[in-house]
Structure 1
Amino acid sequence: MSGVITKAIHILDILVPQGNEKEMSVTEISRELEMPVQSVHRILASLSQHGFVSQNTKNKKYKLGLSVMKYGFLMWDSLMLRSVAKPFMEELSRKTNETVYLATRENAEGVYIDSIDSPEILKISEPIGLRLPLFVGASNRVILAYLPQKTRDLLLANVNWQTIPSLKPMSRQYVEQELEIIREQGYAITSGEATVGTTGIGAPIFSYENTVIGSLNCAGPALRFTETNIEKYSQYTMKYANMLSKELGYRNRNRSRI
């Protein structure tokens, strides 16, 4: 299997454009890589099935497909988001003195892609790369709240609510009610769902395409998240999430209720 994957990577590499769009026939690829024609044809068929290469119907030659572009853009968006978000994360950290997270969506999960630790001795410090379902935790639920209705329905359709990684019992009805509240107030707040004794506040981040692409969050020990602090921190979190969205090109300030 590893040999086939290596050959597939070599084929993708050879199809990378050098200035102009590049197309090659099966024979040309076979000759260039010194691979049997049958092997090249078989691998190209699999790559084509998944959108990594496409075939020109006129000359039968192959070029890189849209899936390569999609994954490239996803990686670029993630790197760009981290870079642009850093000063806003730092400002939110200074204002709250709590741990600040940057999260994004990957399929049905939310993922932490960057963080700034609280200077306090007692603090929350979750690892970068931590993944949880989009309905667990403020950082994830606020992303779910602003996804299109059809996407939300699909993500919540077949959840086994008895086995979800949450410290609190949940149901679809509960999550739906929470999503409505989030859309009304503009931020999410959860306590003790993923980690005992913690509270998190999350606000959505939007792209230039007016779609939710992540969330800005502050989190810490629940004992420091008093009613007064929650009100203050939620305003800070929304403020810097909005500024970040604007920096990314988001202009639809009057979001419609989804």
Structure 2
Amino acid sequence: MDTTEAQSVSERVLQVLVTVARHGRPIAAREIAAQTSLPLSTVYRHLVPLKKWGLVQEHAHEALYEPGPVGVQLAWGFDHNSHLVTQAREEIDALVQRTGETVGLLVAANGQVVCLDMHESEQSLRCSFAKGRAHPLVHGASAKALLSFLPQTTRDNLIGRQLAGQPVAQERLIAQIEEIRKQRYAVSESEVDFGVWGVSAPVFAAKERLEGTITLMAPAVRVAQRHEELIRLTVAAAERISNRLQYF
């Protein structure tokens, strides 16, 4: 097997692993094959080493696959060692205390917005965002705040792929991106979860390298008179996190 072929095999194994991780619940091999466009026999072959190394396991009572125990170790290590998570945690906690609302830390990965951390307030909020969960990178304040500061080629490819055949939606999103880049935050209401308002501000490391975004989420009816205040506090918290990332 030459180097190029070996790399291709490795990428297919990782494709299977990522599909299992993203799914959010146990998944059948046929569904993995459908989502990855790999032959079913290839999927089964790649599941063997993933199970051996504890990255994937078979569901206890069904012929389904789910993340394995090594995933817990990876998650623990990420929580305790990620520079972004550790530098953002204090500011996010403070933002939750100041506003009384829920705040998440999210990043762009593989064409999706992924929630790395979620700090919930004592007030109720029904929201589909949760730690480890992913959503498309074109809907909602978090996605748009991230999308707006990705490299232009990456951004254009994502918009073209995720909004294929929707020229009006593409034009609308591109116009929104221009505004978000100017004001350095994005807002949305009911785009991901009905009745939920959100504001998201990007976080940068040195040389304006996008690291992620912090997003404040709340029921729209509860914060209808507080938009300006919540935007200001969220943007300020994001700027402080960016400063920490650049100097620590």
TM-score (norm 1): 0.63
Residue identity in the other structure for 1:248: L
Whether 2:226 is the aligned partner of 1:229: answer yes
Q: Which residue of 1 aligns with 2:129?
A: 126
Q: Which residue of 2 aligns with 1:192?
A: 190
What is the aligned counterpart of 2:245 among 241, 244, 248? Answer: 248
1:195 Cα deviation after fit = 0.6
Work out the CA distance in 1 between the residues paired with 2:231 and 2:146: 15
Q: Which residue of 2 aligns with 1:94?
A: 97
- As a proportion of its length, which structure holds more helix? 2
Whether the aligned pair in 2 keeps the contact of 1:138 and 1:201 (CA below 8 Å) is yes
Whether the aligned pair in 1 keeps the contact of 2:163 and 2:169 (CA below 8 Å) is no
Work out the CA distance in 1 between the residues paired with 2:196 and 2:114: 18
Structure 1 SS opposite 2:208: coil
Question: 1:50/1:210 Cα in 2 relative to 1: closer, same or farther (>3 Å)?
Answer: farther
1:107 Cα deviation after fit = 2.1
Question: 1:77/1:136 Cα in 2 relative to 1: closer, same or farther (>3 Å)?
Answer: farther
Q: Which runs of 5+ in 2 are unaligned?
A: 12-77
Work out the CA distance in 2 between the residues paired with 1:191 and 1:48: 42
What is the aligned counterpart of 1:116 among 119, 122, 126? Answer: 119
1:187 Cα deviation after fit = 0.5
What is the aligned counterpart of 2:200 among 199, 202, 224? Answer: 202
What is the aligned counterpart of 1:215 among 213, 219, 222? Answer: 213
Question: 1:51/1:161 Cα in 2 relative to 1: closer, same or farther (>3 Å)?
Answer: closer
Residue identity in the other structure for 1:172: Q
Whether the aligned pair in 2 keeps the contact of 1:105 and 1:143 (CA below 8 Å) is yes
Whether 2:236 is the aligned partner of 1:239: answer yes
Work out the CA distance in 1 between the residues paired with 2:222 and 2:108: 28
Q: Which runs of 5+ in 1 are unaligned?
A: 1-41, 53-74, 164-169, 251-258
Work out the CA distance in 1 between the residues paired with 2:4 and 2:154: 31
Work out the CA distance in 1 between the residues paired with 2:129 and 2:2: 41
Work out the CA distance in 2 between the residues paired with 1:95 and 1:43: 57
Residue identity in the other structure for 1:110: V
TM-score (norm 2): 0.65
Q: What are the residue-to-residue correspondences of 1:35-114 with 2, within 5 Å?
A: 42=1, 46-47=5-6, 79-114=82-117
Work out the CA distance in 2 between the residues paired with 1:225 and 1:134: 25
Work out the CA distance in 1 between the residues paired with 2:192 and 2:94: 25
Work out the CA distance in 1 between the residues paired with 2:170 and 2:177: 10
What is the aligned counterpart of 1:139 among 132, 138, 142? Answer: 142
Larger radius of gyration: 1
